[in-house]
Amino acid sequence: MPKQTFYNLPDDKKQILIQALEEEFSRAPLFHASISNIVKSADIPRGSFYQYFEGKEDAYFYLISRQVESSKKLFITCLMKYDGDLFHAVTELFKQIVEELSKGDHINFLKNVFLNMTHEIENKFTRIFNGNDSRGQFCKMNALINKDNLNVSNENELYHLVQIIGTITIRNLIEKIAQELSSETAMNNFHIELTLLKEGLYKRS
């Protein structure tokens, strides 16, 4: 987490800093990104950076959190729009993110994030689907999901079901980016996998 000092910053200075972060983390993945570039670009002394953040990762995670927050809101909107239908909601979410990707605003940042996604970061994203923290706060989102059609008999199974959907969704996004698939191809692939998931990988007897 950024230090308090960062949050105390006047808005304009904070914006400049965020801008510089996005610039650098768009240029290179966490591994190769350099604090030196960030401070140069934001035109602040090196020492100041360490007043605001613990280090490179801290700043990186901060940027990601913002992205995740906005996706989470989007997902909740989708869920409500489709009366809690998980599959419709997730399809819509996927579509919107794919569209955002092709717009190419901060596409390079997302590219770097997705192609270098570790477990820690993937978890941040998976929480889009299952609420705030890990298994504890799994309730808010839970309440929005219509369970009538889902093949689950208890909360634990629901948790795993949501994990599965989240994982598959993210992997499909990653493949779209990595293989530079067209939006249509990506949507198609995702649809095939969602259908398999819904109907089951085993033949219905």
Q: Which residues bind DNA (CB under 7 A)?
A: 4-5, 8-9, 33-37, 44-48, 50-52, 55-56
Distance separating alpha carbons of residues 198 and 205, to the nearest angstrom: 15
The one among 15, 36, 65, 151 contacting a copy of itself by CB under 8 A: 151
Distance separating alpha carbons of residues 42 and 48, to the nearest angstrom: 11
| Structure token pair of residue 62 | 């901060």
At 95, the amino acid letter reads K
Q: Does 184 bind a copy of itself (CB under 8 A)?
A: no
Complex with DNA: residue 50 or 82, whichever CB lies closer: 50
Out of a copy of itself, DNA, none, which partner does residue 44 contact, by CB within 5 to 8 A per kind? DNA
Q: Residues 146, 85: contact at Cβ < 8 Å? A: yes
**Largest separation between any pair of C-alpha atoms in the chain:** 68
Q: Does 119 bind a copy of itself (CB under 8 A)?
A: yes
Q: Is the dihedral of CA 164, 168, 174, 178 positive or negative?
A: positive
Question: From the CB of 134, what's the least distance to a copy of itself, in Å?
Answer: 9
Question: From the CB of 132, what's the least distance to a copy of itself, in Å?
Answer: 17
Decide: residue 94, CB within 10 A, 0-12 exposed, 13-18 middle, 19+ buried. Answer: buried
Contacts with a copy of itself, residue ranges (CB under 8 A): 30-31, 114-120, 149-152, 156-157, 160-161, 163-165, 167-168, 171, 174, 178, 189, 192-193, 196-204
